[in-house]
Amino acid sequence: MLMALYDYAPWRFCVAPMMDWTDRHCRYFHRLLSRHARLYTEMVTSSALLHGRWQRLLHFDPAEQPVALQLGGSEPQALAHCARMGADYGYAEINLNVGCPSDRVRTGRFGACLMAEPERVAACISAMRAAVHIPVTVKTRIGIDQRDSYTELVDFIGQVAEAGCDVFIVHARKAWLQGLSPKQNREIPPLDYARVYRLKRDFPQLGIVINGGISDVQQASEHLRQVDGVMLGRAAYQQPYLLAEVDQRLFGSSRPIPQRQEVLAELIPYLQRQSDQGVALKCMTRHILGLYQGQSGARRWRRHLSEHAHRPEASPSIVLEAISWV
């Protein structure tokens, strides 16, 4: 049963799942900047969860909520089992990756190549929906290789929606599975926002979230006139302070926009707790390097953290020292 339109508000603003970037430390930091943004894990493959250190892969701090688990895979029962693991662990959403164009992902038969198999994706969604009572969503592209007509996109969305997917996060670029690297696939295929807008018009009952090339909250606000939600990727990571505007501008929050130093004051106790548990400081401070992007002293801030956080004896006091440079 499809959700009512007003239920798509949780996806109004999202931070994209990004490999090697949106780990639990990054997400904790982002949550201090925005209470309402929807956060996503890095992609976790079903095989890694079923055969690896699943507790380490699933672990998150409750303060990160609402946080979604993104899965990669193509076997319905394996994905259903992993979705149940994620739901039992406390995630607010399970998202299936049908957008990553890397060779490694394609070899494993998941990611963007699955756009050529809508029946399989539908079977995966059906199995996952039967296994959990939290939203199951799909992150996809507008097409792949020569399969990039609007008719083919509509067929894909239609089949997967019939299987029970109510929310689609659509990267407004096609993916070339041959000849382009993942980085090039984020930059070279042209953006086609109009196609995503058209999807929303043609599937008004679905939640459509737009992704790709969006760099600030003002652009996000403009897209929201056409679709239900917006997802930012690299911009949110490289210039994280833009997240501080989100609650007021996009969710109508009356909470004052937090100042950078206020955010750091809240973050330092977390850094200390994690350091006490053996987490290297550099694994956490790498996510805050862009906090002062565009501000006087930003280069000195980055340099101080980069030069000192990697040392074995490094402690969170290094962050306090770095603040004195800005």
Strand partners, 139: 97, 169
Instruction: Identify whether the C-beta of residue 234 lies closer than 8 Å to the C-beta of residue 17.
Output: no
C-alpha dihedral sign at 228, 82, 114, 214: positive
Q: How far is CA 326 from CA 247, 287, 299, 302, 310, in A?
A: 25, 17, 9, 10, 21
Under the banding of pLDDT at 50, 70 and 90, the label for residue 205 is: very high
Q: From CA 98, how far away is CA 17, in angstroms rounded?
A: 12
**Domain definitions of the chain by residue range:** 7-251, 260-323
In CATH, the number for domain 260-323 is 1.20.120.1460
Percent of the chain with pLDDT over 90: 87
Q: Indicate the pTM of the whole model.
A: 0.94
Residues marked active site are found at 100
The stretch 23-43 carries a mean pLDDT of 98
Which residue in this structure is represented by tokens 């018009």?
A: 201
The stretch 147-161 carries a mean pLDDT of 97
* 265 vs 108, more confident: 265
C-alpha dihedral sign at 166, 116, 215, 41: positive
Under the banding of pLDDT at 50, 70 and 90, the label for residue 5 is: very low
The stretch 4-32 carries a mean pLDDT of 88
Residue 269 has pLDDT above 90, yes or no: yes
Per-residue pLDDT reduced to its tens digit, 70-93: 999 999 999 999 999 999 999 999
Per-residue pLDDT reduced to its tens digit, 94-142: 999 999 887 766 566 789 999 999 999 999 999 999 999 999 999 999 9
CATH topology for 7-251? Answer: TIM Barrel (3.20.20)
Instruction: Identify whether the C-beta of residue 95 lies closer than 8 Å to the C-beta of residue 139.
Output: yes
pLDDT value, residue 3? 44
pLDDT value, residue 220? 98
Q: From CA 305, how far away is CA 140, in angstroms rounded?
A: 36
Per-residue pLDDT reduced to its tens digit, 10-19: 999 999 999 9
Cα atoms in the 13 Å half-sphere on the side-chain side of 142: 25
The stretch 147-155 carries a mean pLDDT of 96
Same fold, 7-251 and 260-323: no
Q: From CA 254, how far away is CA 226, in angstroms rounded?
A: 25
Side chain identity at residue 197, one-letter code = Y
Residue 4 has pLDDT above 50, yes or no: no
- Which of 93-97, 99-103, 160-164, 212-216 is least confident? 99-103
The stretch 245-266 carries a mean pLDDT of 96
Under the banding of pLDDT at 50, 70 and 90, the label for residue 1 is: very low
